[in-house]
Amino acid sequence: MEDQLLHNLFRTEYRKIVSVLCYLFGIKHIEIAEDIVSDTFLAATETWSLKGIPENPTAWLYTVAKNKTKNYLKRDAFFDQKLSPEVKYASEKSEELVVDLSAKNISDSQLAMIFAVCNPNISAESQIALALNLLCGFGIQEIADAFLTNKEVIYKRINRAKEKLKAENIKIEQPTIAEINERLEPVLTTLYLLFSEGYYSTSQNTILRKDLCAEAMRLTFLLIENKTTNRPSVNALLSLMSFHSSRFDARTNENGETILYEDQDETRWNQDLIFQGAHFLNQASTGNSVTKYHLEAGIAYWHTQKEDTLEKWDNILQLYNSLLILEYSPIAALNRTFALAKVHGKQQAIQEAEKLQLTDNHFYHSLLGHLHTGLDNKKALAHFQNALKLAISEADKTTIAKSIDRFKV
C-alpha cells in the first residue's frame, strides 16, 4: 500500500513541486529543482517505511520540499551567487525565501512551465518527452515504453530539450497576451501530439496509454482554467480529446486486440466524456476563426453517434473536406475516404485512396483491403497481406490477420 501511495503521489505531486521550484529558480537551475524533489521522495520512502504513512502525506511532502529548498539555499553559496536578482531580492527582503506551494501558485507555475517547455525551437519528440517528464511526472522508463524505445534515447531527448531551453534563455513566467497569441499554437500542437501518443500508441500497456491521454487532457484543462489562455481553440482541443477518450475502452478487447469502429460495443462508450466533449465544443463556438481542432472535434463528435445514417457520414465527409483545405494531411485524406465510401460508394473511395499512394503505410493497405472486399476479393487479400507486413504493433497484426482469415473460409 505504501509503495502504491508513493507511486501515485510521485505522479501527481512531483510535477507540481518541480514546476514551482523551476518557476522560482529559472530554467538554468532545472536540475537542482529536480534533485530537491527527488530527495524529498527519497526521504518519504525512508521515513514512511520506518514510522508509517503520515496523516496528510501531501502536506508532509510539501513541508519537506520547502525545508530542503531553504537548506539548500543556505548551504550552497555558489548557487546563491547564480540566483536571479529577482529571487535574491525576494530572499533578502524576507528572513528566508518563501516556497509557495499554494494551489494558485502551483497552477500559475504549471501554466508558465507549459509555455516554456512547448517551445517551437525544440523538436516535437523532445518537447513531448520533456513535457511527460516535467509536466506530467512520468519516469524515463515509462516514457521509453510509450515511445517503444530505450531509456538512453529518452535521456538524450530530454537533455537536448533542457540544453536548448538554457541556451535560448527561456524564462519561466506568466505569458503576456502577446506571447499567448504567438505561442499558443505550438503549445496546443504539443498537447495534441501528447494525446495522440497515448490514443494511437503502439504500446500494449493500456494503463500507460490512458495515463498519457489523461495528462494531455489535464494540461489542456489548465489552459482553460486560466482566463488569458481560455480560448476557443483550447476548448476545441479538449472537446476532441474528450470525444476520442469516450471510446477508449471500446477500441480493444480483453486480449488487447483492436476492435474496428463498426464493430465497437457502444455500451462501452463513456457517456460522461461524450457530454463533456459536447460542452467544450459548445464553448469553442465563439469567435470568428475555425481551427483544425474545431473540425476534428466535429468529426470525433459524429463518431460518437452510432447510427449509420447518410446524414452522419455526409457531415463527417464535409468536415474532412474543410480540414484538408485548412491543413492538408495524407492521413486525414486517407481517413476521409472511409466517409466517402459511406456517402458515394466504395468504387469512388478506392479511386481517391489510390491517388494518395501511401504504399508504405499499413493503414492505407488495410483500408483498401476493406474497400475491395466484396468487389474484388483477390485485391482485398493482397492489400491485407501488405498491411500485415507493414504493421508494427501486435494488436494491429492480430486485427489484420483476422481479416485475412475471413478469405480462407
The Cβ of residue 327 has, within 10 Å, a number of other Cβ atoms equal to 12
DSSP string, 355-397: HH--TT-HHHHHHHHHHHTTT-HHHHHHHHHHHHHH--SHHHH
Query: What local confidence, expressed as pLDDT, does residue 139 receive?
Result: 85
Contact 246, 271 (CB under 8 A): yes
Same domain, 134 and 216: yes
Distance CA(287)–CA(220), nearest Å, equals 19
Within-domain flag for 60: yes
Same domain, 182 and 106: yes
Element containing residue 304 per DSSP (H, E): none
Total domain count for the chain? Answer: 3
Query: What local confidence, expressed as pLDDT, does residue 94 receive?
Result: 42
pLDDT > 80? residue 398: yes
* Residues with Cβ within 8 Å of residue 37, at least 6 apart in sequence: 14, 17, 18, 21, 65
Same domain, 124 and 96: no
Same domain, 159 and 75: no
Condensed to tens digits (0 to 9), the pLDDT of residues 294-348 reads 999 999 999 999 889 999 999 999 999 999 999 999 999 999 999 999 999 999 9
Q: Which of 205, 230, 255 is the last residue of a domain?
A: 230
In the numeric block, the cell 513541486 is attached to 17
Please list the residues that pair with 252 across neighbouring strands. 258
Averaged pLDDT score across all residues of the chain: 89
Query: What local confidence, expressed as pLDDT, does residue 7 receive?
Result: 83
Kindly state the percentage of the chain with pLDDT values over 90.
60
Same domain, 23 and 129: no
The count of C-alpha atoms lying within 13 angstroms of the C-alpha of 26, restricted to the half-sphere facing its C-beta, is: 16
Within-domain flag for 331: no
Q: Which of 99, 300, 113, 143 has its CA nearest to residue 222?
A: 113
Kindly state the percentage of the chain with pLDDT values over 70.
93
Same domain, 109 and 213: yes
Q: Which of 71, 86, 101 is the last residue of a domain?
A: 101
Within-domain flag for 192: yes
* Residues with Cβ within 8 Å of residue 136, at least 6 apart in sequence: 11, 15, 215, 218, 219
Q: Which 3 state secondary structure label does DSSP give 291?
A: coil
Same domain, 136 and 24: no
Query: What local confidence, expressed as pLDDT, does residue 88 receive?
Result: 46
Query: What local confidence, expressed as pLDDT, does residue 74 receive?
Result: 75
Contact 16, 67 (CB under 8 A): no
pLDDT > 70? residue 91: no
Same domain, 220 and 142: yes
Contact 400, 387 (CB under 8 A): yes
Condensed to tens digits (0 to 9), the pLDDT of residues 348-392 reads 999 999 999 999 999 999 999 999 999 999 999 999 999 999 998
Confidence of residue 209 (pLDDT cuts 50, 70, 90): confident
Q: Which 3 state secondary structure label does DSSP give 112?
A: helix
Same domain, 122 and 22: no
Within-domain flag for 373: yes
pLDDT > 60? residue 90: no
User: Range with the lowest mean pLDDT among 48-62, 191-205, 327-341?
Assistant: 191-205
Distance CA(399)–CA(395), nearest Å, equals 6
Within-domain flag for 9: yes
Same domain, 114 and 214: yes
Within-domain flag for 344: no
Query: What local confidence, expressed as pLDDT, does residue 315 receive?
Result: 97
pLDDT > 70? residue 409: no
* Residues with Cβ within 8 Å of residue 18, at least 6 apart in sequence: 33, 34, 37, 134
User: Range with the lowest mean pLDDT among 72-86, 140-154, 286-300?
Assistant: 72-86
Within-domain flag for 303: no
Within-domain flag for 306: no
Contact 239, 277 (CB under 8 A): yes
pLDDT > 50? residue 89: no
Max mean pLDDT range (2-11, 144-153, 213-222): 213-222
Confidence of residue 5 (pLDDT cuts 50, 70, 90): confident
Query: What local confidence, expressed as pLDDT, does residue 93 receive?
Result: 43
Q: What is the mean pLDDT of residues 33-45?
A: 94
* Residues with Cβ within 8 Å of residue 328, at least 6 apart in sequence: none
Same domain, 225 and 106: yes
Same domain, 156 and 63: no
Q: Which of 82, 101, 120 is the last residue of a domain?
A: 101
Q: Which domain holds residue 397?
A: 358-409
